[in-house]
A and B are shown apart, each in its own frame.
Chain A
């Protein structure tokens, strides 16, 4: 009886179609990781975490970084990340950085790399985004905004 209803009833078909259409556009990753991938953690010492939405995940080698992730190292922690555009970022201890925006899609003209560092130390090497679109790379600190025309620099927020 229920099967018939689904087959015949136009109103009950619609949610099913909607469901499957949505399913087609879902990325092959869990729901909490809807933000696009931006890079990967290559090396880590001590403890570090990734804040993603409501969750706090342990950082580890090989773990992907997504846009909007909040990266945090502990008192003796440090880690290095390689981004999709060949930019690299290495964080010293007690450092907190948000990957505010990362878009590397030259084919559609979308290029942007914005990070916010609220405490600690970091070494940056800007990659293809900076090369293809000078001005698309920006680092924000509590007191200033850093514009980058290449390529390697250090930031400390006391």
Chain B
């Protein structure tokens, strides 16, 4: 009698353990895709027990347990991608509109070409019903880093004021200065590069 009870209990415990174990076995899946320009990057999937690198388009890695290394990369067919990720992919917010503005040398006045972009910026803001605009100043690497940071901020502020004067809500404009640290064209220090002396207006 006792033995039968014990085995029933054991059986129940084993079943609960099995259920909870399968309940915990939730897979994590990672898939690499080409970017909007068609370039394929690289992702690294790591658990405590190992690492897998994925560097081919539409290849995926699965992890079934943190106690195991990730599985080998496998091609995932488009139907499966669509089935699993269709809703997420459909919610793609698209890319922001980015305008690079350039200045007449040593001034905070826009070049003639850049001045012509201002109506395009205003159009992008209203078209996108944007609630978030970044105005970020940049310099090249000629001169001291801290001075460049200040110069890039002054130029960004002048563009912010220009946008406000054309009717843009000041509350949706975020001003920042990246000095010489976020160039369009990377260069050595003290190299003059007109393409890097700019203010980027990003309309989201």
Q: Which A residues fall within an 8 A CB radius of B?
A: 28, 37, 39-40, 42-45, 61-64, 78-82, 84, 86, 88, 90-93, 95, 105-107, 109, 121-123, 125-126, 128, 132, 141-158
Contact = CB atoms under 8 A, between A and B. Distances in A.
Given A146-B30, A149-B44, A156-B28, A90 B91 contact: yes
B56 to A, nearest CB: 12
Nearest to B25: A158
Interface of B: 26-36, 39, 41-47, 63-66, 70, 81, 84-96, 98, 129, 131-132, 134, 149, 152, 171, 174, 176-179, 181-182, 202, 204
Given A42-B94, A91-B88, A82 B204 contact: yes
Contacts of A145: 45-47
A2 B66 CA distance: 66
A152 B85 contact: no
A145 B66 CA distance: 10
A43 B94 CA distance: 10
B85 A80 contact: no
A152 B33 contact: yes
B32 A152 contact: yes
Contact of B88 (A78, A107, A149): A78
Contacts of B131: 40, 61-64
Contacts of B87: 78, 92-93, 121
Contact of B85 (A40, A88, A123): A123
B93 A143 contact: no
Contact of B47 (A61, A81, A95, A144): A144
B35 to A, nearest CB: 4
B20 to A, nearest CB: 15
A122 B149 CA distance: 36
Given A146-B30, A150-B39, A152-B33, A121 B47 contact: no
Contacts of A79: 91
Nearest to A42: B93
B41 A92 contact: no
A147 B96 CA distance: 24
25 contacts: A39-B204, A40-B131, A62-B132, A80-B91, A82-B96, A90-B91, A90-B93, A91-B88, A92-B88, A93-B87, A107-B176, A107-B179, A109-B181, A121-B84, A121-B87, A122-B88, A144-B45, A144-B47, A146-B46, A148-B43, A153-B30, A153-B43, A154-B29, A157-B26, A158-B29
Given A42-B204, A147-B43, 20 more contacts: A28-B171, A39-B204, A40-B204, A62-B131, A79-B91, A82-B93, A86-B96, A91-B88, A106-B181, A106-B182, A107-B181, A121-B84, A123-B91, A142-B26, A143-B47, A146-B45, A147-B46, A153-B31, A153-B33, A153-B41
